[in-house]
A and B are shown apart, each in its own frame.
Chain A
Amino acid sequence: MTTAEAPVAARKRPGIPAGLLRYVLLRISASIVVMLVVSFVVFLFVHAAPGGPEYAIAGKLATEEQLANIRQIYGFDRPLLDQYWTYLGQLLQGELGESVIQRRPVAALLGEAAAVTVPLLVFTWVIALVAGVAIGVVTAHRAGSRVDRFALGMTTLAASTPAFVLGTVVAWFFGIELGWFPALGIGDGGLDTVAHLVLPATTMAIAVLAITTRISRVRIGQILAEDQALFARARGLGRWWTLRNVVLRNAGVQLITLSGTIVVSLFTGLILVERVFNLPGIGSLMVEAIHDQDMPVIQGVTLCAASLVVVVNLVVDLLCMLVDPRLRLRLESAR
């Protein structure tokens, strides 16, 4: 236990150590495998749809003639794997199929919707993360104080409130009662659109703030209770130094993981919030597609969401490796 571990060979040559490189490559290929599995499952959607794949493509009102036609075009009589290879080939060329209802390419629909969703997502992500960590730092420093208890109570309340409830209340209060911001729709571009995005963004930020505040409060509280924090104070190191070098550095892995987690939960929350505020984003696209049984669109959005989850996880894992020397050096010393 107390014996020094074999010193890592002092490398003069710069570059990525073999163990680390192997991990990164392994991690990336694992992500690719996961995406392949997801694409297969998504491919199966059409077959799982009520009424069979033909209905899924043609819609509920298709005639027998149309159905036969579709069977032929799509080759539903061919072996399943064959069909999948074709599907995968199209995916790799960015070909996501065509919406049954709107008769437009799914990729184009996704692009338009993303123009609404992505700015909203990025904005609320930054706000929730920065504010959450800031509140976490303040409350952890005043553990047990009134501020701490109030913040905790608020996070409990916010975590118990579904995003659509919060959205409805925000829309009604700020949009209708106070009339500060428009409560519905996307506006007609420019500043008007920005004004229309204020309330949805606020809603999402509050909802996610509950998560970020609570998790950073817990982790920072732990670190402040550790010997290393007391030791830093006993050395006369200032509060800012401790915050930067002890608290934030040690919480690094958790905060990175947290920022990944909330990207994903933001995405889910946006589906609801877009409905509340009638925004034409990816969430609305999805919900409408579900109601219309517009299978290609469902497939497209699902792939989009899955890629988001997989990429976020990959980035989170690699960043954690970067900030935590314990994780990193274990790999570096591995041959």
Chain B
Amino acid sequence: MNPTIAAGRQAGLATDSLSVWLEQGRARRPIVESISLRVAPGESIAIVGESGSGKSVTARALLGLLPPELTSEGDVKVAGTSFLRLSEAARRRLRGNEIAFIMQDPFTMLNPVMKVGDQVTAALRGADGRKLSRAERRAEAVARLNEVGITDPAVVDKYPFQLSGGMRQRVGIAAAIAENPRVLIADEPTTALDVTTQQEVLKLLDRLRRTHELGLILITHDLRVAFATCDRVYVMYAGQIVEAGQTDAIRARPRHPYTAALLAAEPPLDHRVPRLMTIPGSVPSPGSRPDGCRFAPRCPYAVAACTSSPVSLRTTDESGTHRVRCDRADEITLVTDDMTGRPAAGAETVQPGDLLVKMRGVRKNFQDKVAVDGVDVDVYAGESVGLVGESGSGKTTLARMMVGLTRPSAGSVRVGGVELAAKRVSRQQWAMVRGLVQMAFQDPMSTLNPTRTIGSTLREGLRLAGADDLETATSELLERVGLPAGYARRWPGQLSGGERQRVAIARALSRNPRIVVCDEVVSALDVSVQAHILNLLRELQADLGLTYVFITHDLAVVRQITDRVYVLNHGKVVESGPTPDVLDRPQHDYTKRLIASIPRVEQ
């Protein structure tokens, strides 16, 4: 083999001023700028950033697999050779062999029409370079799957669509590392998975790192995941690394205001804070990045000097491992969690009002699948109720039945006294229900009709609610959710994800409802944006006396926004009670497992 690898000194991966440009005709925009990072075999590093930071582009640049309109500059050293300067054929030999890659979505990464075993062993050759026999391939496949914790040999003959998401991700990992590469780049490998599965996959990656002497590059938007899994962390913002260092050092004392703000925006799991820390504004797009410090316009510590000239990455400690891209790093004291230990006043106990929603023995079948299996739920006026569970728990189906989007197969759903499970619900009754309960949805991209302006979307509900002066009412609604009145003339495509979710909430409010059902409204948003929306929802509740039904998989969010919670698993309520009780003293095994699976910032 290559002597440099044998020497071991240069094994792994290192980049030197890696930049990525977007070529648009004659225009050339930087997407990623001068990234320098390294990972040794057996070491794990994380690249953390929100959407728009350039972290996924970086991953593909490392592999030399950028889409045609993106070009890279700088160097990536793989096993001591300048990877990006090699011919495509030479690079292909190193891919899979020296560096491997797994992707975010296990449902699309694997070939749906090829058996799992064939996919895992596709790249394998015998010691003399010949093709493996059928029996050898099978044996290899069983062994490789065993390594990633799939012990059932029958899986070899299955197709990906017969496996669960977690299993597929394991198969993907087995396929990626089949040739025993030295570096594995994992691009959001657990984002599409449930928390319990997520933790298993992270543990697996950590184990493989040790057993296979694998250098792990974990790309993630989730600081908790990064801290829980990796030795070192690179924080990216707007195409640059803004902070890099040992996990412990950054966790103990982040030096960049952005890192600190990200940490603070993360809702804590173990206590409720009166107000989540937020970052004003949004991540600048590649064309509109500011000249000086990229973060300056959103930074509470920024001074005039910050915006004048580019800031370089510099060392902040004696050992030289902790680097930060902030000129004021030594002058400022960052606040990461100013609310620690102070429980939110008054929010914990709510005087129960009228019973608005009463569900009894509710069932819902989709063909032969049971989505909801005999559930009782009560919602009282003025409280905030959480429906928590992983995918397939039936929480969304339950919520949809509350607003009359899905008809229950059996049981009783009474909303404001109207039986929605009845054979016939009169027009007047529907009108009553629609005025009482409204819904906000998960996906910010499709929550607004792309063919209508924000204003026309909002006026629709206002008109139904019988508002007199639509113009004024629209402006008021927008201001209510923290958007300028001028947004009424905008199109959904001109808004960021967080802004769209605000409009979606405004639309729900346009009918003046008493209950708002929020279906995963923050789960597709970056953590800093999520904090904005959670704060907004709490303000609205306080000001308007709203009742919330909050559907989420995220227990930290549950802690922040709900008073009572129902934990759902496979269509059944396994546990319910006041939120602090359930989260602090879980009784059911499933709840315990759910809580234990959450990666923690603190360790």
Contact B111 A2 (CB under 8 A): no
Contact B122 A245 (CB under 8 A): yes
What residues on A are CB-neighbors of B405 within 8 Å?
none
> Given contacts A249-B114, A325-B113, is CB(A228)–CB(B108) below 8 Å?
yes
Contact A250 B111 (CB under 8 A): yes
- Complex CA gap A3/B369 in Å reads 12
Contact A245 B114 (CB under 8 A): yes
Contact A235 B175 (CB under 8 A): yes
Residue A236 contacts which of B95, B166, B167, B172 (CB distance < 8 angstroms)?
B95
Contact A236 B391 (CB under 8 A): no
Residue A228 contacts which of B97, B109, B165 (CB distance < 8 angstroms)?
B109
What residues on A are CB-neighbors of B158 within 8 Å?
7
Chain B CB within 10 A, most for which of A4, A235, A252, A325: A235
- Complex CA gap A230/B112 in Å reads 14
**Total cross-chain contacts (CB, 8 A):** 103
Mask: chain A, 203-222; 1 = CB below 8 Å from B; 0 = not: 00000000000000000000
Chain A CB within 10 A, most for which of B63, B92, B179, B390: B92
Contact B101 A234 (CB under 8 A): yes
Contact A3 B392 (CB under 8 A): yes
B152 — nearest CB in chain A belongs to which residue?
A7
> Given contacts A2-B164, A234-B65, A236-B94, is CB(A326)–CB(B103) below 8 Å?
no
Mask: chain B, 143-185; 1 = CB below 8 Å from A; 0 = not: 0000000000010001101111111000010011011000000
> Given contacts A236-B92, A241-B122, is CB(A230)–CB(B113) below 8 Å?
no
Contact A236 B194 (CB under 8 A): no
Contact A227 B96 (CB under 8 A): no
- Complex CA gap A324/B112 in Å reads 9
What residues on B are CB-neighbors of A228 within 8 Å?
108-112
Q: Is A226 interfacial (CB 8 A cutoff)?
A: yes
Contact B103 A236 (CB under 8 A): no
A223 — nearest CB in chain B belongs to which residue?
B111
Residue A234 contacts which of B96, B108, B159, B162 (CB distance < 8 angstroms)?
B96
A251 — nearest CB in chain B belongs to which residue?
B113
> Interface size of B by Cβ–Cβ distance < 8 Å?
44
The minimal Cβ–Cβ distance linking B287 to chain A, given in whole angstroms, is 21
Residue A326 contacts which of B96, B112, B392 (CB distance < 8 angstroms)?
B112
- Complex CA gap A7/B163 in Å reads 9
Contact B162 A323 (CB under 8 A): no
What residues on B are CB-neighbors of A241 within 8 Å?
122
Q: Is B193 interfacial (CB 8 A cutoff)?
A: yes
Q: Is A233 interfacial (CB 8 A cutoff)?
A: yes
Contact A249 B391 (CB under 8 A): no
B108 — nearest CB in chain A belongs to which residue?
A227
Contact A329 B162 (CB under 8 A): yes
Q: Is A246 interfacial (CB 8 A cutoff)?
A: yes
What residues on A are CB-neighbors of B194 within 8 Å?
2
- Complex CA gap A3/B63 in Å reads 32
Q: Is B596 interfacial (CB 8 A cutoff)?
A: no
Contact A2 B193 (CB under 8 A): yes
Q: Is B123 interfacial (CB 8 A cutoff)?
A: yes
Q: Is A5 interfacial (CB 8 A cutoff)?
A: yes
Residue A233 contacts which of B95, B166, B197 (CB distance < 8 angstroms)?
B95
A227 — nearest CB in chain B belongs to which residue?
B108
Mask: chain A, 311-332; 1 = CB below 8 Å from B; 0 = not: 0000000000001111001000
The minimal Cβ–Cβ distance linking A223 to chain B, given in whole angstroms, is 10
The minimal Cβ–Cβ distance linking B151 to chain A, given in whole angstroms, is 14
Q: Is B327 interfacial (CB 8 A cutoff)?
A: no
Mask: chain A, 257-288; 1 = CB below 8 Å from B; 0 = not: 00000000000000000000000000000000
- Complex CA gap A228/B112 in Å reads 9
A249 — nearest CB in chain B belongs to which residue?
B113
Residue A4 contacts which of B93, B103, B167, B175 (CB distance < 8 angstroms)?
B167
The minimal Cβ–Cβ distance linking A209 to chain B, given in whole angstroms, is 27
Contact A235 B95 (CB under 8 A): yes
The minimal Cβ–Cβ distance linking A148 to chain B, given in whole angstroms, is 12
- Complex CA gap A265/B158 in Å reads 38
Contact A235 B100 (CB under 8 A): yes
Residue B65 contacts which of A10, A143, A230, A245 (CB distance < 8 angstroms)?
A230
What residues on A are CB-neighbors of B114 within 8 Å?
245, 249
What residues on A are CB-neighbors of B159 within 8 Å?
325-326, 329
Contact A246 B193 (CB under 8 A): no
- Complex CA gap A228/B119 in Å reads 11
A333 — nearest CB in chain B belongs to which residue?
B162
> Given contacts A228-B111, A241-B122, A323-B113, is CB(A234)–CB(B197) below 8 Å?
no
Contact A231 B103 (CB under 8 A): yes
What residues on A are CB-neighbors of B100 within 8 Å?
234-235
Q: Is A238 interfacial (CB 8 A cutoff)?
A: yes
The minimal Cβ–Cβ distance linking B42 to chain A, given in whole angstroms, is 21
Contact A233 B103 (CB under 8 A): no
Q: Is B105 interfacial (CB 8 A cutoff)?
A: yes
- Complex CA gap A89/B128 in Å reads 67
Q: Is A1 interfacial (CB 8 A cutoff)?
A: yes
Contact A231 B172 (CB under 8 A): yes
Known: A228-B112, A236-B92. 8 other contacts (CB 8 A): A2-B165, A2-B166, A3-B164, A4-B164, A228-B111, A234-B101, A249-B111, A326-B113
> Which residues in B have some Cβ–Cβ distance to A below 8 Å?
63, 65, 68, 92-97, 100-103, 105, 108-114, 122-123, 154, 158-159, 161-167, 172, 175-176, 178-179, 193-194, 197, 390-392
> Which residues in A have some Cβ–Cβ distance to B below 8 Å?
1-5, 7-8, 10, 143-144, 226-228, 230-238, 241, 245-246, 249-250, 252, 323-326, 329
Sample 28 A-B pairs with CB under 8 A, ordered by A number: A2-B166, A2-B392, A3-B392, A4-B164, A5-B161, A5-B162, A7-B154, A10-B154, A144-B68, A226-B108, A227-B105, A230-B65, A231-B102, A233-B92, A235-B95, A235-B96, A235-B101, A235-B122, A237-B96, A237-B123, A249-B114, A250-B113, A325-B159, A325-B161, A326-B112, A326-B159, A326-B161, A329-B159
In the complex, the 4 A-B pairs of residues with the closest C-beta atoms, listed nearest first? A236-B96, A236-B95, A234-B101, A2-B165
